[in-house]
Structure 1
Amino acid sequence: MARWAILGTGFISQTVAQAIQAHPRSELLTIAGRNADRVADFQAKFDIPKTSIGYEDALADPEVDIVYIGLPNHVHHTLTAQAAAAGKPVLSEKSLTTTMDQAAELVAAVRAHDTFFVEGFMYLAHPLYQRLTEVLTDGRLGKLRSIHGFYSAAISNVTNPLGRGTIYNLGCYPASLAHLVVQVMEGEGAFASARLGGFGVTEPDHGTLVDAAVTAKIGDVLVNLHSTDSYGMAHEFVIAGECGTLKFLTNPWRPNAGDNRILWQPYKGEGEEIVVNTGQDDFYHQVAMVEANVAAGNREASRPSPRIQDSLEIMAFLTQWEALCLKG
């Protein structure tokens, strides 16, 4: 059994707790947080054996095999460094951090202590993305020409301003999926060559972005992404090639335990629905992916889940997108 410690008592940590407890080779051993009442409530809800007020005891516990960091992204680098120093494998929530300097600190700590790390783009662990990779490489699309992604949710009133706004809250999802598509179809390192232009709308009290759009040119491929925390509850992702399009009919960033559907539509001829149903959702598959990698002694995930260099390339894209929006 892989024994997990969860750092943080928020909504996302509760979702991960459910996934850990559903997995046959994982056990939720410890819940850690700074608020004693919230820690106690979390412990009672999930019947967890141990608690830690603060994070030090959980990280020092020799019985803990894996650490999940479900805390705001501006502390990911410091807590990952502490976990790595304690020799703990880490699953840390997206976005990787909020700056490239923080990202460099995080990666340096993981590499210095030779520990496993993966960023929590949970959706990429779902088998839907192995199937997508197969479709992207089977030739039906022809040459990749464009990508369009949109994600919106009216959550700006409950988000932490230290998380730096919609690009890191929601825009990271279409950006990370565009990264995978470009990497698969255009090759390693292609995404890092992107030339960007972007505009955004800021929240007046904190100055963080609540609405942000970016256009990127990668070789001959155009990528248009848009995210907003200020309205809606919607998703869209379309991949266009010379021969047809792939359009997600279900939420690409929350693959569920039922039917997950992508429409292949050639420009000539009938379309085809591609359906993937594994009976488990994305968070369950993420726990399974981490457990399998740690059991195998790996230091990072394999694609479609993000490797460390993938996370750095995505983070560089996000920070450039933010800078352009704030400038413009």
Structure 2
Amino acid sequence: MLRWGLLGTGFITHKTAKAIAASNGSEIRTIAGRNSDAVDAFQKEYSIPTVSYGYDEILADPEIDVVYIGLPNHVHHTLTIAAAKAGKAVLSEKSLTTTMEEAQALATAVRTHDTFFVEGFMYLSHPLYARLMEILADGRLGNLRAITGFYSADIWNVTNPLGRGTLYNLGCYPVSLLHLVVQTLCGQDMFATGQLAGLGNVSTHDGTICDAAVTAQFANGVLATLQSTDSYGMEHGFTIAGDKGTLTFVTNPWLPVAGRNHLRWTSYDGEVEDIYVDADHDAFYTQVKMVEASLAAGQKEAQRPSPRLTDSLEIMAFLTEWERQCLAAQQP
């Protein structure tokens, strides 16, 4: 049994707690947070043995095997660094951090202390993505030519401005999927060759980027266009275009469900195939099982399609450059 310590009591930690409770290979030992009322309520809801009204105690606890960081992204690096120094395995929510300097410090600590780390792009552990990898490998797309992606959610009034806006909250999802597809079809080194042109709008509410668009061109000529917003809508879209046809996510790529998930293949000669992936569990549960399997195998990071540390750093580099260009465009 893996013994988990959970940091944070927000919405996303509830999702992870339910997934851990549903697994026969894990248990929650401690819930930690700075709001004692929220911590106590969380403990009661999930029948957790112990609580911590701060983070130092949980990181020092020898009975904790894995730390889950469900706190805002601007503290991900400091808590991951502390957990790595304590020899704990870490599952930390996306985005990796909010700056490349923080991301490099996080990566250095994980490597120096030789601890397990994975960024919480939970969707990539879902069976939908094992099926996607099979489709990408079967040749039906031909040569990759273009990718388009869009993610919107009207959540501006509940986001933390320290999280630096839509790119690190929502845009990281299409960027991470773009990364997986380009890497799989074009090789491990291709994503880092991307040249970006980005634009965005700044929120009058908190001064962060609220709407953003980017075009990227990779060294092999593949083009990508992505958009992200937290100021309106509740919509998603992602299409992969090869020179033989397109593959489109019909259901939400970033919230694969327990139940039926839907892809559609369309060849340029008119053939259409609806591809369904049925799953017994949602992506939060499969993410917990991925961590269990990785640690049981003695691995220090997840295996593809879940992100490895180098993958997370490349995704972060894309996001920070996209943000830089959006902000630069605001200057007179």
CA drift at 1:295: 1.6
Matched residues in 2 for 1:96 and 1:189: separation?
Answer: 20
Structure 1, unaligned runs of 5 or more: none
Q: Which moved more, 1:86-95 or 1:125-134?
A: 125-134
CA drift at 1:206: 2.6
Q: Which residue of 1 aligns with 2:277?
A: 276
Q: Look up the equivalent residue of 1:269 and give its one-letter code.
A: G
Q: Look up the equivalent residue of 1:7 and give its one-letter code.
A: L
Q: Which residue of 2 aligns with 1:165?
A: 165
Matched residues in 2 for 1:23 and 1:326: separation?
Answer: 43
The ranges of structure 1 where at least 4 consecutive aligned residues each deviate by more than 2 angstroms after the TM superposition are none
TM-score (norm 1): 0.99
Please list, as runs of the form range in 1=range in 2, the aligned pairs for 1:1-328 lying within 5 A after superposition. Answer: 1-218=1-218, 219-328=220-329
CA drift at 1:205: 4.0
Matched residues in 2 for 1:144 and 1:205: separation?
Answer: 39
CA root-mean-square deviation: 0.7
TM-score (norm 2): 0.98
CA drift at 1:297: 1.3
CA drift at 1:296: 1.5
Q: Among the aligned pairs, what percent are the same residue? A: 64
Matched residues in 2 for 1:144 and 1:164: separation?
Answer: 32
1:9 counterpart SS class: coil
1:245 counterpart SS class: strand
Structure 2, unaligned runs of 5 or more: none
2:324 counterpart SS class: helix
Matched residues in 1 for 2:205 and 2:121: separation?
Answer: 29
Q: Which moved more, 1:58-67 or 1:90-99?
A: 58-67
Matched residues in 1 for 2:280 and 2:272: separation?
Answer: 25
2:97 counterpart SS class: coil
1:68 counterpart SS class: strand
2:279 counterpart SS class: coil
Matched residues in 2 for 1:318 and 1:295: separation?
Answer: 32
Matched residues in 1 for 2:158 and 2:300: separation?
Answer: 34
Q: Deviations over 1:254-291 (max 9, x none)?
A: 11000111000101132111111121110000000011
Q: Look up the equivalent residue of 2:275 and give its one-letter code.
A: I
Matched residues in 2 for 1:193 and 1:132: separation?
Answer: 23
Matched residues in 1 for 2:31 and 2:46: separation?
Answer: 10
Matched residues in 2 for 1:189 and 1:210: separation?
Answer: 30
Q: 1:154 to 1:205 in 2, by over 3 A?
A: closer
Q: Look up the equivalent residue of 1:97 and give its one-letter code.
A: T
